[in-house]
A and B are shown apart, each in its own frame.
Chain A
Amino acid sequence: MSTNAAPALPSTRDENWRYAPLRGIERLQWTPPDALTAEAIESARAVLGDLAPATGTRWTFIDGHFAAALSNGPAPQIGTRAGTGAGTDAAADASDSGADLAFARLNRRHAGAPVTLHIPADTTLDLEVACVALSVGHPAFVIEVGRGAKLQLVERHLGAANALSNLGLQLRLAPGARVEHSRLLQPAAGARHFETLQLRLDAGAELHLVQLTTGGAATRSTALVELAGADATLRWHAAMLGAGQQAHDAYVRVTHDAPGARTEQAYRGIAADRSRLAFNGHMRVTSRARGANSDQTLRSLLAGPAAEANARPQLEIDTDDVRASHGATVGKLDADMLFYLLSRGIAPDAAESLLKWAFVSDVLAKLPDAALRARFEAAIAPLLPGAEAARSLA
């Protein structure tokens, strides 16, 4: 691949990109600002609002640049990809059809050197990363969690109106590593967020990921997960709330490539107004993955007269020795439940909000602690008026 040619962008004709909000991307300006200005730091401070007291390390990036003034704890290392062991780019690219890594290539072209983080064996790290998009950013991370190490990682993606961000994240879990990964994608009005997650789990590693997507104009999340070691366990809980004309799309491909690999995946999407949501949960089980287990429930709620919701389980299984279950439903708010709440004196908007809280609580309940849950809930509370007090109770 020439380093000068702009990487080709995917189109909705590409497999796995059918519902992606790609309209107009060829006209977008992808070059990030070269450096951080004082104004940018002040703008980002305003976007972040009250910074809750950090219990661990907190890093803030603005359009991909590290902002020390808005960070706590040891500064990140800005490294090179070589020698991280997180899989070479060429190898990753070669194993893929191309389109799935298109945004990753775009990220590499513009991001410069990624943040590299190595968590030594048997240690624990509590890290919160805020990526603030003000104009254009390509935040890039390569994270290696050592043998038996524990990482609690909170990622927030937010920013200014009409901004553009394109995250590239590579995460590798060494044998026995354990990661609680909580992700909040909350672009501002009119903003777009693209991302490519490449995750690899070695033997006995465990990754619990909770992702909440809301706001902005459009998001596309591409996650390619390799369960490469025996008995690696993935729990993937994702919720999306679309309102207005937002479009949110996620493609999660999990490759079970070793004996006893396990995945539990739950998706809950609420499409209000004229929003469009899509979630494609692609489960691959190779012939090496004897005794693998994959369990998927994908549920969408249509809550607007012109809303669209699509949730698709996709199974590709090359072994007989596997347990796989999957279900996908699209529905509306249950009329019997609604009437029950009304009959108790609850106002209609509050009753609807309550049922929506209940719907996404399957996902939010998986966040590692109550304080984090409250912060994630605050991101969607404005969309669910009249039932604020029900938060965290659901």
Chain B
Amino acid sequence: MLEIKDLHASVGGRKVLDGINLSVPAGEVHAIMGPNGSGKSTLSYVLAGRPGYEVTGGSVQFRGVDLLALAPEERAQAGVFLGFQYPVEIPGVNNVYLLKAALNAARKHRGLPEVDAFEFLQLVRAKMKLMQMDEAFLSRGVNEGFSGGEKKRNEILQMLVLEPALALLDETDSGLDIDALKVVANGVNTLRAPDRSIVLVTHYQRLLDHIRPDRVHVLARGRILRSGGPELALELEARGYDWLLAEAAA
């Protein structure tokens, strides 16, 4: 699904990614953990094609296609979804309109006709129910006046409607209380499928109690320092990151 090879990238003239190697096969859930400022969001943005995040070396293949050669909207249409760490508020752009426009853009890419209005509403209602979101959110501006937790739920709602092949969820769990965390985790779990991959960027083991990853990677100082199974997350929870950084420095 996703093959990242020796990826280097800079932001604002500063080198942040320093040779990332990561392979995420179809059907797997991978967690990326790491200290603040280690480059996790940068990696997410680079994969989504955010302007200002300059790739200075390496390659990224997504389903055999050179992902870095695609424009941001093409990446989304091809099935890459980024759940933002800080979803932006867009007052005046209607939430349900965005959902529909996004879905239709993806359908168009696949050669499908625009979604039927009735079916669309049925679909959105079902997903909102799953996310325990009130339908009133549909008619509001995108994330406008949403609480932190509501914004995160809205990200997952978008993901559920779009059904991407690759979901990159950047700290979707931070700022959630335990009930909201369960709702979000449940939403993510419903999306697990053999032809889909999920990359969870997280600080906390607690999300991984609800979404069991196939692999866990530690990203620090712009590199993957270690990869392992779910037990690595538990070890990090117990010991922190310093020992890994020390080992890497040695």
Contact = CB atoms under 8 A, between A and B. Distances in A.
B102 A345 contact: yes
Interface in B84-110: 84, 87-88, 90-94, 96-98, 100-102, 105-106, 109
A344 B98 contact: yes
Interface string B42-53: 000000111100
Interface string B24-61: 00000000000000000000000011110000000000
A344 to B, nearest CB: 4
Contacts of B66: none
Contact of B82 (A343, A350, A361): A343
A390 B88 contact: no
A301 to B, nearest CB: 12
A387 B91 CA distance: 16
Interface string A282-310: 00000000000000000000000000000
A347 B141 CA distance: 19
Interface stretch (A93-101, A108-116, A185-193, A351-359): A351-359
A70 interface: no
A390 B101 contact: yes
A211 to B, nearest CB: 19
Q: Which interface residue of A342, A343, A361, A393 has the most chain B CB atoms within 10 A? A: A343
Given A336-B88, A350-B101, A358-B141, A343 B94 contact: no
Interface stretch (B15-23, B69-77, B217-225): B69-77
A342 B92 contact: no
B14 to A, nearest CB: 18
Given A340-B84, A347-B105, A389-B97, A358 B72 contact: no
Interface string A356-368: 0111011000000
Contacts of B94: 390, 393-394
A9 interface: no
A346 interface: yes
A82 interface: no
B109 A345 contact: yes
B202 interface: no
A5 interface: no
A335 interface: yes
Contacts of A362: 92
B72 A359 contact: no
Nearest to B92: A358
Contacts of B51: 335, 339
B197 interface: no
Contacts of A342: 49, 71-73, 76
Given A335-B51, A345-B105, A390 B76 contact: no
A25 interface: no
Contacts of A357: 92-93
Given A335-B51, A339-B51, A390-B101, A346 B73 contact: yes
A345 B106 contact: yes
Contacts of A387: 101
Contact of B90 (A335, A340, A347, A348): A340
Contacts of B91: 358
B172 interface: no
Contact of A340 (B87, B96, B97): B87
A393 to B, nearest CB: 4
Given A339-B51, A340-B84, A345 B92 contact: no
Given A336-B88, A337-B88, A358-B141, A343 B93 contact: no
A322 to B, nearest CB: 29
B90 A390 contact: no
B92 A394 contact: yes
A345 B88 contact: no
Contact of B92 (A343, A347, A359): A359
A334 B51 CA distance: 13
A344 B158 contact: yes
A379 interface: no
Given A343-B82, A362-B92, A390 B105 contact: no
A341 interface: yes
Interface of A: 334-337, 339-348, 350-351, 354-355, 357-359, 361-362, 387, 389-390, 393-394
Interface of B: 48-51, 71-73, 75-77, 82, 84, 87-88, 90-94, 96-98, 100-102, 105-106, 109, 141-142, 158, 162
Given A344-B158, A345-B102, 11 more contacts: A336-B88, A337-B93, A339-B50, A339-B51, A340-B84, A343-B82, A346-B105, A358-B93, A362-B92, A387-B101, A393-B97
19 contacts: A339-B51, A340-B84, A340-B87, A340-B90, A340-B142, A342-B71, A342-B72, A342-B73, A344-B76, A344-B102, A344-B158, A345-B105, A345-B162, A346-B98, A358-B91, A359-B92, A389-B101, A393-B94, A393-B96
List the 7 closest A-B pairs by CB distance, nearest first. Answer: A358-B92, A345-B105, A345-B76, A344-B102, A393-B94, A342-B72, A345-B77
